Amino acid sequence: MDMSLPQLPDMAEMYMAHLAVEKGYSDATIQAYARDLHQFEAYLQRSGLTLNEPAGITRHTVQGFLAALHRLKTGKTTMGRKLSSLRGLFRYLAKRKLVTTIPTDGVRNPKTDLRHPRALNVDQAFAVLDEGRQQTAETTRNRAHAGEQLARDLALAELLYGSGLRISEALALNVRDVDPGSGIVRVMGKGSKERVAPLSDSARDALQAWMRKRGELDATGREQALFLGARGGRLNRRQAARIIEDLCKRVGLPQAVSPHGLRHSFATHLLEAGADMRSVQELLGHARLTTTQRYTHLNLARLVEVYDKAHPKARTKNGK
């Protein structure tokens, strides 16, 4: 399949505007939809079709697109997301009576292998956030503004693990959005939906420590972002991933986790401690309970592990 991307057709541009203005989707989400539709348009044009004439697109066309993605060894999750983008577009066109049939109807998502997110156990999470251990490790390094950067790193990790923020939510925070003394932080989640996340005592302390030192990294004195990179601009996702990986390695963990892994750890540990699913859903900012329910698989796996190690029947069964 030719992966060069043609100009986005007018029909798709209308849909993008709808997502931005009426739905309030984030720029990152809109860009992802646009990439999917660009790729679909490239596939269509090879067959003499175009999204500007959607009536000629059938279910067979959509299935052919998925088959072409499969031949390119596209991951099943990515294929499912691209199909979701097409569903949204054609439902939008149908509501405006620009198509009479929806070609994505009856096309199922590729079956994906169930993959559990990598999470830390409680002891590992506490080790990562242990200021004393991290300071000891910091003394072996040679980086400018070491104290300021460590304060930033710990504050970021506390928001991901202690409050369950998405990395995008944490990095989008501005100084004016945060009042550690209030015990909460207001974040803009997916779909531009504001939610309130509680701050633990350690998160409040870490944020206050970082905000006292933050000015040392703000070279211009005008940057609004809460989390700054070494050069003074807003911290980006790649830098944040390196920070969390570094915090894990410096306390000797056998494997590092991603920023999202700390959020996974937050949810997993809450459920293991007996929190109810609806409360965790609210804390995570999930629109659907089914998204939160994936963590029940982690709980069941943990229960089986404990049973196998501790129950006398399990020891007998395993010949111990």
Task: Estimate to the nearest angstrom the gap between the alpha carbon of 273 and the chain centroid.
Answer: 23
> What local confidence, expressed as pLDDT, does residue 49 receive?
93
> What local confidence, expressed as pLDDT, does residue 135 receive?
83
Q: Could you tell me which residues come within 8 angstroms of residue 190 by beta carbon, excluding any fewer than 6 positions away?
A: 26, 29, 166, 285, 287
122-307: CATH homologous superfamily? Intergrase catalytic core (1.10.443.10)
Out of 15, 43, 161, 295, the active site residue is 295
Separation CA 119–CA 112 (nearest Å): 20
Q: Note if 92 is an active site residue.
A: no
Out of 166, 204, 214, 264, the active site residue is 166
> What local confidence, expressed as pLDDT, does residue 306 receive?
44
Q: Note if 212 is an active site residue.
A: no
Query: What residue segments make up the domains of the chain, in order of their start?
Result: 10-95, 122-307
Q: Could you tell me which residues come within 8 angstroms of residue 247 by beta carbon, excluding any fewer than 6 positions away?
A: 128, 134, 153, 154, 157
CB atoms inside a 10 Å sphere around CB 13: 14
Out of 91, 260, 269, 294, the active site residue is 260
Residue 141 to residues 77, 136, 255, 258, Cα–Cα distance (Å): 39, 10, 20, 22
Model pTM greater than 0.85?
no
> What local confidence, expressed as pLDDT, does residue 189 receive?
65
Range 41-67 burial, b when 16+ CB lie within 10 A, else e:
bbbbeeeebbbeebeebeeebbebbbe
Separation CA 70–CA 64 (nearest Å): 10
> What local confidence, expressed as pLDDT, does residue 195 receive?
78
Residues 56-104 pLDDT 10s: 999 999 999 999 999 998 988 889 899 999 999 999 999 999 999 999 9
Residue 10 near residue 96 (C-beta atoms within 8 A): no
Fold matches, 10-95 and 122-307: no
- The matching CATH number, chosen from 1.20.140, 1.10.12, 2.60.40, 1.10.150, for 10-95 is 1.10.150
Q: Note if 260 is an active site residue.
A: yes
Which parts of the chain register pLDDT below 70?
A: 1-6, 112-117, 139-142, 189-193, 272-273, 275-320
- For Cα atoms 139, 145, 147, give the angle at the middle one, nearest 5 degrees: 50
Q: Note if 263 is an active site residue.
A: yes
Out of 152, 204, 263, 264, the active site residue is 263
Out of 190, 195, 213, 269, the active site residue is 190
